[in-house]
């Protein structure tokens, strides 16, 4: 494929299938990660590798970041041997991390210093959707640069939305995950309430799914509570907790109240304290099971609630 050389920094759980998708779509790719294992696998598939973020940026026209948090973004971009040192006029940095918008807006003028451009483009969806190019991507930055980068973004995402100026993509992602986290927690709370009051949990989910309580969390994850199946999947407790804390940091910075989100973050912290950090985020249900003394899966197998 004719097009820019893409540098990809951070080829972990979500970054690797995104990078693989680009590679399989014909893009020329250079990858870097502190973990050599996924790098070696991508190299076997035809990617090049770089020894540092700076080299990655030097050898590519577009550099993509997919990192754990805004702290890693700051280090990778601004640190010694960082991306900033490898940027030249016309190059584009796309930060696909779920990051803090104020950090994004602080980095943006530093990126524009050498004549480069920054897009913030966090994603929603897990490794499976990433492998199929079906992620949702919300993009902030200059619209002209977004249009230039669109073919790259649409290779990885089925729903690519331009959200506004710098930082708007990261704001949208934090809001989306705040709502998702609260939805998951209240789903678990309601489910345990209904089961303890005597309703068959499978019937309860059927009713909720077809009524005003319906949500994507209900559609995608209620079955995990019913089956007691919380093995790591697209979204883990640790990751959602991190995103809720980042949303709370943003709220504190702009003095916007999020009392429900703050409370729910503490519930996820309880799940982490119970050793559930690496479990699917539906494991918030085990917090309520601990408090009520009820295992929903046992009631589901029995086909009844528990008064």
Q: What is the pLDDT of residues 24-34, one digit of tens each?
A: 999 999 999 99
Q: What is the pLDDT of residues 89-119, one digit of tens each?
A: 999 999 999 999 999 999 999 999 999 999 9
Domain count, the chain: 2
Longest dimension (CA), the chain: 68
Looking from the CA of 24 toward its CB, the CA atoms found within 13 Å total 12
| Tokens (6 digits) for 141 | 């930055």
Model confidence, pTM: 0.92
Residue 32 in contact with residue 54, Cβ under 8 Å?
Answer: no
177/204 same-domain check? yes
Residue 239 has pLDDT above 50, yes or no: yes
Tell me the C-alpha to C-alpha distance, in Å, between residue 198 and each of 185, 187, 296, 299: 20, 17, 12, 10
Instruction: Write out the residue range of the structural domain in which residue 23 sits.
Output: 6-166
34/115 same-domain check? yes
Residue 91 in contact with residue 83, Cβ under 8 Å?
Answer: no
156/180 same-domain check? no
284/184 same-domain check? yes
| Alpha-carbon dihedral sign for residues 214, 216, 222, 225 | negative
Q: What is the mean pLDDT of residues 278-286?
A: 95
Residue positions counted in the chain: 307
Which tops the pLDDT comparison, 299 or 176?
176
Q: 168-197 and 284-292 are packed helices; what angle lies between their axes, rounded to 10 degrees?
A: 30
125/22 same-domain check? yes
138/268 same-domain check? no
Residue 153 in contact with residue 121, Cβ under 8 Å?
Answer: yes
Residue 307 lies in a domain: no
Non-local CB neighbours of 260 within 8 Å, separated by 6+ positions: 182
Q: What is the mean pLDDT of residues 181-200?
A: 95
259/286 same-domain check? yes
Looking up tokens 């492998």, which residue turns up? Answer: 131
Q: Which of 16, 132, 158, 173 is catalytic?
A: 173
Residue 274 in contact with residue 286, Cβ under 8 Å?
Answer: yes
Tell me the C-alpha to C-alpha distance, in Å, between residue 216 and each of 174, 176, 190, 202: 17, 12, 15, 17
How far, in Å, CA of 18 to CA of 245, rounded?
A: 25
Residue 153 in contact with residue 176, Cβ under 8 Å?
Answer: no
Q: How many CB atoms lie within 10 A of CB 276?
A: 22
154/180 same-domain check? no
Residue 63 lies in a domain: yes
173 is catalytic: yes
Looking up residue 88, the CATH number of its domain turns out to be 3.40.50.720
Residue 1 lies in a domain: no
Last residue of a domain, one of 135, 166, 197: 166
Residue from 109, 235, 251 nearest 174 by CA: 251
Residue 303 has pLDDT above 70, yes or no: no
14/137 same-domain check? yes
């Amino acid at each position: 494929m004719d097009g820019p050389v893409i540098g990809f920094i951070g080829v972990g759980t979500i970054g690797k299938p995104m990078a693989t998708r680009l590679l399989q779509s014909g893009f020329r790719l250079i990858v870097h990660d502190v973990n050599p294992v996924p790098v070696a696998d991508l190299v076997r598939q035809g990617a090049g590798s770089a020894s540092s973020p700076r080299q990655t940026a030097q050898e590519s026209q577009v550099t993509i970041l997919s990192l754990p948090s805004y702290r890693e973004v700051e280090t990778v971009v601004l640190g010694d041997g960082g991306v900033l040192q490898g940027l030249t006029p016309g190059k584009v940095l796309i930060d696909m991390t779920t990051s803090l918008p104020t950090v994004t807006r602080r980095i943006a003028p530093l990126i524009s210093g050498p004549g480069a451009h920054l897009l913030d483009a966090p994603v929603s969806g897990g490794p499976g959707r990433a492998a199929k190019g079906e992620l949702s991507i919300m993009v902030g930055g200059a619209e002209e640069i977004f249009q230039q980068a669109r073919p790259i973004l649409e290779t990885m995402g089925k729903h690519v939305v331009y959200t506004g100026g710098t930082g708007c993509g990261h704001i949208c992602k934090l809001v989306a995950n705040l709502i998702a986290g609260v939805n998951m927690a209240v789903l678990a709370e309601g489910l345990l309430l209904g089961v303890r009051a005597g309703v068959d949990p499978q019937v309860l989910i059927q009713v909720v799914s077809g009524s005003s309580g319906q949500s994507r969390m209900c559609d995608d994850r209620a079955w995990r509570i019913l089956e007691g199946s919380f093995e790591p999947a697209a979204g883990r407790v640790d990751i959602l907790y991190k995103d809720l804390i980042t949303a709370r940091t943003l709220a504190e910075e702009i003095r916007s109240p999020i009392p429900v989100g703050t409370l729910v973050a503490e519930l996820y912290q309880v799940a982490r304290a119970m050793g559930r950090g690496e479990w699917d985020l539906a494991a918030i249900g085990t917090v309520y099971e601990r408090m009520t003394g009820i295992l929903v899966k046992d009631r589901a197998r029995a086909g009844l609630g528990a008064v």
